Amino acid sequence: MIRRIQKKDVEKIAEIWLNTNLKAHDFIKAEYWTENFPMVKDLFCQAEVYVYEEASEILGFVGIEGTYIAGIFVRGKAQSKGIGKQLLDYVKEIKGKLTLSVYQKNVRAVKFYQRENFMIQSECIDENTGEVEYFMEWNAARMEKEYTYHYDSPLGAITMSSDGEALTGLWFEGQKYFGSTLTSESEQKNLSVFEETICWLDVYFEGKKPDFIPKLKLKGTKFRRMVWEILLEIPYGQTMTYKEIADKVAKQRGMESMSAQAVGGAVGHNPISLIVPCHRVIGTDGSLTGYAGGMEKKAELLKMEHVDI
């Protein structure tokens, strides 16, 4: 389990920090780490730190300052078991861009980050140790080439996007959060997944229930993806309230309750309209409430599915 640091964790993660640095940086005098140990220990509770815990034992942690990774540290006996990658994947979910510094002589760490798509941007001499450091960067937007295609629906123009294999976005032109998953370098091109999506849209706008779904790739935080997966469960011609979704999320996460407002934020940021049917979500009192594509479109879509509103 990965969670936020607690005050009781400081002694344990401080120990991991010191031991890991001593082992990984044997080219630096041990005194450098031991002398900085008290200062670093005091900073832990003030920093953004996430710990990896298993059977009530902390096996590793990652520290972040904004989008800068201060370090990923894994207890010696737990190394080479994928814990460092899990911690890195966790912060990648939170941040769209990450940077870090790593010593050139720490070959194992350099190779690890390169495997995880970090690119060396520059190198410099660390004034404190005299060692060469690489400055590395990972950017989610740079990882995938994106493609777009357009479709004219009875309710207005639609733009869809893909990474080349799956559908990653579908928006009505001008809607709120339009193109939220796109970068400025997307290319307009017809793809097989767009052809499938067009078939789906043709069937849907004929007032029929499509019997297939194009391959989807939902890009967002773990919480948002959880909400969007629940949206996919809402049957054609039926609705679900924000509270009902919140209750499902709470149950999945083992919580007593979940904020319907937080769920509403995730629903509003759904990047694949229509196919991931956020238009089928209504208020507890049966009101239509908000819709990124506009209330008129929401009403038309539900009317098309023969939902009483």
Alpha carbon distance, N-terminus to C-terminus of the chain: 43
What six digits make up the tokens of 249? 């999320």
**Catalytic residue from among 45, 124, 199, 278:** 278
Q: Which two tokens stand for residue 234?
A: 């809402």
Phi-psi region of 186 (alpha: psi -120 to 50; beta: other; left: phi over 0): beta
Q: How far is CA 19 from CA 10, 25, 33, 80, 276, in A?
A: 14, 10, 9, 16, 47
Query: Which residues contact residue 20 at a Cβ distance below 8 angstroms, ignoring those fewer than 6 apart?
Result: 73, 74, 75, 76
Cα angle 167, 168, 174 (rounded to 5 degrees) comes to 110
The two tokens of residue 289 are 């409430």
For the question of residue 45 being annotated catalytic, the response is: no
Catalytic residues: 278
